[in-house]
Amino acid sequence: MWGSLFNFDETMRKRFAKHSMIAGVFFILAGIAGIVYPQMMSLVTLYFIGWILLFAGLVAGYATFMTDRSSWMGWLKSVVLIITGFLLFLLPDSGVAALGLLLAFYFLLDGFSSFGIGFSMPKGKWLWFLNAFFSIVLAVIFLIGWPFTSFWLVGLFVGISLLMDGFVLLGLGASLRSHTEQ
């Protein structure tokens, strides 16, 4: 998909450039909030994931009830998702530590995938490579201090990642806009 962005027709390119820049601004603002208030961003991230798990558990339970009520695997999945969601709410310190470890792995994967995207982009490669570099550095820093620094590092790193993604989206939108004007 990324390699074909520049093959869109003129209208699609303009629309993508505009919305990429708008999303970039929102990502930057959310990133700044996470950097300024890292503990708050840690809790927001934790509770967001907790709500997603609860919702997914309820949906899985509904699907099991409506399709095959005798499926113990369907019920097990639903119960595990719901319990995990509740545990995040009941034990936020442990939840943030666990989330921190998962985020360290996410940052590693984000870094490697950003390198891959960068290699496939005809323009703006350096922005993806910069994003990849920062994601990998964040993962290494996080793993060094884990679990003791989890409560503020989770929010700080989510904020930094959002900030960097915002700059990438702004840069991509500007690049597409300048490509459109040529």
Q: Write the pLDDT tens digit of every residue in 53-67.
A: 999 999 999 999 999
Task: List, for residues 75-127, the tens digit of each pLDDT value.
Answer: 999 999 999 999 999 999 999 999 889 888 988 999 999 999 888 888 888 88
Q: Rounded CA gap, 173 and 133, in Å?
A: 21
Closest CA to 88 of 120, 123, 53: 53
Q: How far apart are CA 171 and CA 159, in angstroms?
A: 18
- The domain segmentation of the chain, as residue ranges, is 9-44+92-181
- With 90 as the cut, is the pLDDT of residue 50 above it? yes
Residue 46 above 90 pLDDT?
A: yes
Contact 6, 122 (CB under 8 A): yes
Q: What pLDDT does residue 120 have?
A: 87
The single residue listed with the structure tokens 């993604």 is: 165
What mean pLDDT do residues 144-170 have?
89
Between 23-27, 106-110, 112-116, 148-152, the lowest mean confidence (pLDDT) is in 148-152
Q: Rounded mean pLDDT of 170-180?
A: 80
Amino acid, single-letter form, for residue 54: L
pLDDT value at residue 167: 95
Predicted confidence band of residue 44 (pLDDT cuts 50, 70, 90): very high
Q: Is pLDDT larger for residue 15 or for residue 162?
A: 162
